[in-house]
Amino acid sequence: MYQSKMNENKPDGSQTLACVFCRKNDDCPSKYGEKKTKEKWNLTVHYYCLLLSSGIWQRGKEEEGVYGFLIEDIRKEVNRASKLKCCVCKKNGASIGCVTPRCKRSYHFPCGLQRECIFQFTGNFASFCWSHRPVQIISPNNYSDSLPCTICLEFIEPIPTYSILRSPCCKNAWFHRDCLQVQAISAGVFFFRCTICNNSDIFQKEMLRMGIHIPEKDASWELEENAYQELLQHYERCDVQRCCCKEGRDYNAPDSKWEIKRCQCCGSSGTHLACSSLPSWEQNWECLECRGILYNSGGFQKAKKQKLLNTNNVGINDCLLEESSPKLPRQTPGAQCKDPVRQGSKFRRDISAIIIELGFQIKKKKKRLYIDKADIWNSALNGFRNQKFNPSYTMEVVYVNENDNFGREHPGSKQEFLSLLMQHLENSPLFEGSLSKNLSLNSQALKENLYYEAGKMLAISLVHGGPSPGFFSKTLFNCLVYGPENTQPILDDVADFDVAQIIMRVNATTNVADLNSVMNECYNYLELIGCLRLITSLSDKYILAKDILNYHVIKRVHAPFESFKQGLKTLGVLENIQTYPEAFYGVFCHKPENLSTEILSDLFTVHTLSDAQTLEFWNSYLQAVEGGKSATTMEEILIFATGCNSIPPAGFKPTPSIECLHMDFPVGNKCNNCLALPITNTYKEFQEKMDFAIRSTLRLEKEESSHYVGHEDVLNKEMLL
């Protein structure tokens, strides 16, 4: 809660008003924090002077008083400090004291900076005088020459002092303190990290200990209006030597042979599908320049060249165009994709970074979705099918109840809505299987284009910060990435018991007579699916079982698969899945890891100056829940606070937080991901209140939506029929 509001307007003449704590009228945010003036109370303060004063606590909300510090508390602190003399300038008003026991030094914030005191902008916001300040303990190294500051590149003596700091994770990374502070204020907590190894956790922890202020805000470059607008401009021009399009090189007609495909390496060259003889938009394509670079660097050494007709008349560039893509090596039809992470590591990326980049497409313009939690599927379907809906608009969720005669609306959590939608999708008749699911064949859903809508919902959910689907079979995922023709299903993919029995009976035969007997018994079925074949040896049973598998899992659902794949193209999700399969595999095919005390403790940030005893109770409660000593589960705690039962791949936005308040029971604000803990006298009272509130709230929410379950089951049965 100590985040600076750097963009608030300041009253005219604020630069001439002196801070009530340090009596200086300097306005230097990087040095003293933002200067805030409250004309109503004739009060001016520097943010750091206020934050680090020893006798004041943040008792209000962020919008109350000055940054949550109440006006009456500020006046009391000023009065207390007026009796204390600064040990540097010898003037009264020294509101900051050294926290070291028996040290009596007090000083103004600017005076402390002058004498190289260290102020820690974390925890209890401790202050240390020049005699007791923390130091960096570094083993002696024999540096023959000076080393550059890795930020400003000026050479410095590699000796740790107040003004020279060393990175805790890179022994040869040294910084000026002033350079680090400017960098921290500009980057914010989300982007401030070691300039050498990119580490953030260890690096930030050490810098906070050494008195670097890291504000809880987005980076300055993230706050610029339309800062990444150019990234949303797709290149749309055909650059091949001979463009066949009569409408010209700039003509682009989506879902046709005149759709422009961009180079998958540089993205700054394009081609019409027809001009490069690309059978579909999914096929990878590189421009000649990128192909030449990859060829010369050995990127095609392991790829097999396809034989061309009349090779005597083929040039080097034409040969390059026939090479397989370095990202997805071409396989012969029927080749099994056994491991989705087998591709080259040079294209391997972190899933959260990919989804965050996809999120750059989301515009600030908002589109309101009216969602009935009791009918999550149909209300979401209506919203997404609305002509005014645009997947790249920011979604604003409003909960409504069709049975409410007053038409009341309630602000909703986008991530909760997406989590509920994914849970419904997993259990819908569009998929079949127990844990690892494949697409089903549902004629009614196909007629209503629901497979397309399901793919679209999955894509929108991922880009807008929704949870991991986690229920795809490996076979379904490989079909999306490498194509059905390059995927071999397994027996576990068959959800139909009778079909699975036929395959097992075929595999269990020990002679040709038994195999023919099984085929005769299943003659009508085998004829229907086109798998009748002449048996000449016992080894034919493997071909027969493979044919049945391919038909039931892949060929039978060809139409639903193609429709689903088209929906998954929304916001470029399918293209990224095919480019980075190893990153998306865990998101689609595995459930998130089980929550633990450590995970939830790290997930929730603690508001400034929260009650220490309540935080101890909170940690003990998490341990009790994890150990099975409570009726509540870790997932229920997360649902109560955020509406999600797992952490989304791109994390929560805003970051989940905890505050301690004098209240009867805990309160979860799912829109802000904030959990308010009750301040109690004993742990037993704390646990009873937590258990009761969480269990009761989730039970009531379940009961509110239960009236629709019966109707929903009937619809599902009708769709299956």
Contact 401, 374 (CB under 8 A): yes
Question: Please, what is the average pLDDT of the chain?
Answer: 83
pLDDT of residue 280: 75
Q: What band does 294 get if pLDDT is binned at 50, 70 and 90? A: low
pLDDT over 70 (residue 372): yes
pLDDT tens for each residue of 120-138: 998 889 999 999 999 988 7
Contact 29, 220 (CB under 8 A): no
Mean pLDDT of 415-435: 91
pLDDT tens for each residue of 489-509: 999 999 999 999 999 999 999
Q: Could you say which of 152, 245, 319, 671 is catalytic?
A: 671
Q: What are phi and psi of 158, to 5 degrees?
A: -75, 65
Give the C-alpha separation, 25 to 609, whole Å.
Answer: 28
What letters, b where the CB count within 10 A reaches 16 and e where it falls short, cover 268-303?
Answer: ebbbbbebbebeebbbbbbbbebbeebbeeebbeeb
**Range with top average pLDDT, 108-122, 233-247, 283-297:** 108-122
pLDDT tens for each residue of 385-397: 998 899 999 999 9
- Written as six digits, the tokens of 717 are 């049965």
pLDDT tens for each residue of 560-617: 999 999 999 999 999 999 999 999 999 999 988 889 999 998 889 887 666 889 999 9
Q: What are phi and psi of 452, to 5 degrees?
A: -60, -45
CA–CA distances in Å: residue 97 to residues 87, 431, 608, 681: 10, 64, 19, 30
Residue 336: Cβ within 10 Å count: 14
| 404 vs 455 pLDDT, higher one | 455
Q: What band does 90 get if pLDDT is binned at 50, 70 and 90? A: very high
C-alpha angle 702/706/707, rounded to 5°? 145
pLDDT over 90 (residue 142): no
Q: Tally helices (H) and strands (E) across the chain.
A: 26, 21
pLDDT tens for each residue of 517-546: 999 999 999 999 998 888 889 999 999 999
Measured in whole angstroms, the distance separating CA 262 from the mean position of its chain's CA atoms is 26
Q: What is the DSSP letter of 661?
A: E
Cα Rg of the chain (Å, integer): 32
pLDDT over 80 (residue 29): yes
Reference 584, options 481, 433, 493; nearest CA is: 481
pLDDT of residue 421: 93
Give the C-alpha separation, 223 to 263, whole Å.
Answer: 30
Q: What band does 111 get if pLDDT is binned at 50, 70 and 90? A: very high
Q: Is 671 known to be catalytic?
A: yes
Q: What band does 292 get if pLDDT is binned at 50, 70 and 90? A: low
| 428 vs 141 pLDDT, higher one | 428
pLDDT tens for each residue of 457-490: 999 999 999 999 999 999 999 999 999 999 999 9
Would the CA dihedral through 483, 488, 491, 496 be positive or negative? positive
Residues 6+ apart with CB under 8 A from 229: none
Beta strand pairing status for 438-439 and 270-272? Answer: unpaired
Q: What are phi and psi of 196, to 5 degrees?
A: -95, -55
Output the CA torsion 117→120→124→129 (10° steps): -10
Contact 54, 95 (CB under 8 A): yes
Give the C-alpha separation, 220 to 395, whole Å.
Answer: 24
Helix-strand-coil split of the chain, %, nearest 5: 40, 10, 50
